[in-house]
Amino acid sequence: MNAPQKDRYQPKPLLPKDKAGDRPLFMVMAILAFLATLTLLAVKTSYQMSARWGTDLENTMTVQIKPDVNMDTEQSVEIAHSILQKFSSVERIEKIPEANSRALLEPWLGTADLPADLPLPILLDITLKPGEAIDKQKLGAAFTQAGLRADIDDHGRWRKELRRSTRTARTLALLALFLVVVAVISAVIFAVRAGVVRQKRVIDVLHQVGADMNYTARLFSLRFALSGLKAGAVGAFGALLVLWVLTMVSSIGSSGLLLPLLGVTLSDLYFALAIPVLIALLSGISARRTIRATLLKKLYP
């Protein structure tokens, strides 16, 4: 048998590749990365969702013009329209069709045909310019002065409710993220320690032949960091894939009015990329610390 070819010879890695015993560690880290990515994206989505709801409510108001025997509907709308246009913060005015107004009464009056001449209030949906407000009292006074009996609803009551609900949702989401991160850190440290212990033979032999502590620590930290990066990438991109499939399924027949449609965006990708990097760092540092602790005990006990 010949000696290894001088120009091509590369020694085998000191830590065996793809050992069957590494698979459980890989699986644990991949599953943790999967859960962490889903939690992170859920937190991000909850923030986006509450922000969107808040913006929707803060930028809109509803004006309800009550029927008046002295003024026909079209005339009332025209007057209200002209008053509203004088306010610079108003961006858009939309009259809610009568059919929609009638539909709003269905929960109380049933689906039976209502008399055509039943006087119904006129609803105007007002959109304000982003970040701007309207003086509710001034608007009310202008309507009264024009002879309109109008109620102005700036959704203040709902806004308070919503703020309270979203604050609770965000706190819960952050708590979930914190717990998942703690679980990821603990499980990765535990799994890496177990992985290092399985390579005891290599550690002992390296120690016996006089390898410096940093040499062994670097060997293991690189190996486990790389393994963590791979497992983290598999878990994170698995989570993105699942999210994308859910997007496809949930988008069928969904209006996206109440809940935003799920979706995988470029920013989600960046968030997902952070997970494998975090797991790689954790694995590398954990392996390094475990090796150093093991060798310090072993160096000269």
Partner 1 sequence: MINTPPISAHVEFDRVGLRYGRGAEILSDVSFSLAPGSFNVITGPSGAGKTSLLKLLYLHMRPSRGLITLFGNDVSQLAGPAIPSLKRRMGVVLQDFSLIEHLSVFDNVALPLRVMGKTPQSYQDDVTTLLKWVGLGTRIHALPPTLSGGEKQRAAIARAIIGKPDILIADEPTGNIDRAMGARLFRLFTELNRLGTTIIIATHDTALIPEGAQIFNLSAGMLTMELSS
Q: Which of 90, 124, 206, 280 binds partner 1 (CB under 8 A)?
A: 206
Q: How many residues line the site for partner 1 (CB under 8 A)?
A: 30
Q: CB-based burial of residue 99 (10 Å sphere; 0-12 exposed, 13-18 middle, 19+ buried)?
A: exposed
Which of 19, 46, 27 minimizes the C-alpha distance to 175?
46
Query: Does position 96 bind partner 1 by CB under 8 A?
Result: no
Q: Which of 2, 88, 111, 145 binds partner 1 (CB under 8 A)?
A: 2
Tokens of 35: 């859960």
Q: What is the nearest approach in angstroms of partner 1 to the Cβ of residue 280?
A: 24
CA 111 and chain centroid, separation = 40
Nearer to partner 1, 157 or 297 (CB): 297
Q: Which of 205, 241, 245, 259 binds partner 1 (CB under 8 A)?
A: 205
Mention every residue, 6+ apart, whose C-beta is less than 8 A from residue 169. 46, 50
Query: Does position 18 bind partner 1 by CB under 8 A?
Result: no
Q: What is the nearest approach in angstroms of partner 1 to the Cβ of residue 212?
A: 5
Site for partner 1 in 260-299 (CB under 8 A): 295-296, 299
Contact (CB, 8 A) for 228 and 29 = yes
Mention every residue, 6+ apart, whose C-beta is less than 8 A from residue 61. 126, 128, 134, 152, 153, 154, 155
Question: Cα–Cα distance between 216 and 203 in angstroms, integer?
Answer: 7
Query: Does position 20 bind partner 1 by CB under 8 A?
Result: no
Q: Which of 96, 211, 273, 285 binds partner 1 (CB under 8 A)?
A: 211
Binding site for partner 1 (CB under 8 A): 1-4, 6-7, 9-12, 14, 16, 201-202, 204-213, 215, 295-296, 299-301
